[in-house]
């Protein structure tokens, strides 16, 4: 386990700036393994040692894996001058540490993973891994088997031809409902694929990324940490070539 400065650990947990947490230590409000800490620069192993602040235990986690049901109107970024971001939806002690894995358009809803595990994020987004992204969509217009066949071949767009994609028709009519599974995640890709056939996506929700499914009990804007089982499924899925940190 890695040793870290106490003031750095406290600051990373959102308890204040380095200057502010040093004051907490100097005021005798921080204990390590039952003893009052006197040196903000003392080295600790936060995963193994008991650290309390004003009597409250510090629940330290080096790696965070958070599932968010992204609502519309929120951007998949860590900061934005105009819009609320996905990290703004999280408590500060999480939000300032994590980043979104990939992005969903501002009006797209659904599954978004946020983490501070850069290796996992890289693997999930790597084209070599071909991690599937599955979406539920409502389409203005009638979706037919011809579209299913075209998606399976790959759709030619202005700047590239998509990899073969799976299109499943749930209902077909003036407004059709479908499921789409792609292995890329290029800008507006699903919308552009339908637009190539004169069809408009009027609602889009990501429901799966690799083996990770959206928790249907999460309302838009709600989030939770991944379970150990979900994390292990992700590890197995992407460890074909490179491991996930643990």
The two structure tokens encoding residue 107? 């009006």
CA distance 203 to 177: 9
CA distance 125 to 60: 27
The two structure tokens encoding residue 70? 């992204």
- Among the listed residues 7, 33, 88, 105, the single catalytic one is 105
Helices (H) and strands (E) in the chain, counts: 7, 15
Cβ distance 152 to 164 under 8 Å? Answer: yes
- Specify the 3-state DSSP secondary structure of 56: strand
Going by C-alpha positions, the residue among 218, 223, 195, 203 that lies closest to residue 107 is 203
The two structure tokens encoding residue 102? 């990939």
Catalytic residue check, 174:
no
* Whole-number Cα distances in Å, 50 to 6, 33, 53, 113, 197: 12, 5, 10, 29, 60
**Residues annotated as part of the active site:** 105
């Amino acid at each position: 386990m890695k040793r870290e400065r106490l003031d750095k650990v406290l600051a990373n947990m959102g308890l204040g700036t380095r200057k502010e947490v040093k004051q907490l230590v100097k005021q005798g409000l921080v204990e390590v393994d039952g003893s009052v800490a006197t040196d903000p620069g003392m080295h600790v192993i936060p995963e193994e040692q008991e650290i309390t602040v004003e009597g409250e235990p510090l629940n330290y986690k080096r790696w965070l894996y958070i599932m968010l049901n992204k609502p519309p109107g929120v951007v998949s970024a860590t900061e934005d001058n105009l819009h609320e971001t996905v990290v703004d939806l999280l408590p500060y002690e999480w939000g300032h540490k994590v980043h979104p894995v990939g992005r969903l358009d501002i009006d797209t809803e659904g599954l978004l993973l946020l983490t501070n595990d850069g290796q996992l994020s890289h693997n999930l987004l790597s084209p070599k891994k071909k991690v599937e992204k599955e979406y539920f969509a409502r389409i203005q217009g009638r979706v037919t088997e011809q579209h299913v066949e075209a998606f399976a071949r790959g759709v030619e767009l202005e700047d590239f031809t998509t990899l073969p994609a799976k299109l499943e028709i749930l209902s077909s009519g003036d407004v059709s409902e479908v499921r789409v599974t792609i292995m890329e995640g290029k800008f507006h890709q699903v919308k552009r694929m339908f637009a190539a056939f004169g069809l408009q996506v009027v609602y889009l929700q990501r429901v799966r990324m690799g083996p990770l499914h959206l928790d249907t009990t999460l309302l838009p804007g709600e989030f939770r940490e991944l379970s150990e089982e979900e994390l292990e499924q992700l590890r197995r899925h992407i460890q074909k070539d490179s491991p996930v940190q643990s």
